[in-house]
Amino acid sequence: MDVHSLDVAQGYAALIELQPDTYTVESIASRLGESPAYVSGRLRLIQLIAEAKQAFYEAEATTVRELRSWIEREIHLDLTNASFDPQDETLLPKAGACARCPKRTGSNPLLFPEVRQKSI
């Protein structure tokens, strides 16, 4: 029986939380015979929003690459093709321009560094 990638990610996170001095990304990777990038990639799945996690659970066998593609297509909407001016400060005066909105994925380079280059 294969374990779902999200369940694996939660297991890694639980180990790290329970014994942070013993379990690190590097030590888990070493014990599994995987690269630290592999373990880190699984751990990033925990950051998905609930709807994306549910879709990932419901999806038939999918890869991380396919999930990333789905997220970019369905969640990370590119403002360069928006039907409105994302720089318009008057679009929603209380919030300001969409391009600098702190709630926009492209404005959070710590969580989504790859999106910053693809969107206004």
CA atoms within 13 A on the CB side of 28: 24
Same domain (yes/no): 68, 13: yes
Range of the domain at 96: 77-120
Three-class DSSP category at 30? helix
* Residues 90 and 112 occupy one common structural domain: yes
Same domain, 60 and 88: no
- pTM comes to 0.51
Long-range contact set of residues 102-110: C-beta below 8 Å, sequence gap at least 24: 104/79, 105/75, 105/76, 106/76, 106/79
**What is the predicted pLDDT for the residue at 120?**
53
Report pLDDT for 116: 53
How far is CA 36 from its chain centroid?
17
Nearest to 79 by CA among 89, 67, 87, 91: 87
Write out pLDDT tens, residues 70-115: 877 777 667 777 788 888 888 888 888 887 777 776 666 676 666 6
Q: Are residues 53 and 101 in the same domain?
A: no
Q: Same structural domain for residues 87 and 69?
A: no
Task: Count how many domains the chain has.
Answer: 2
Are 66 and 95 contained in the same domain? no
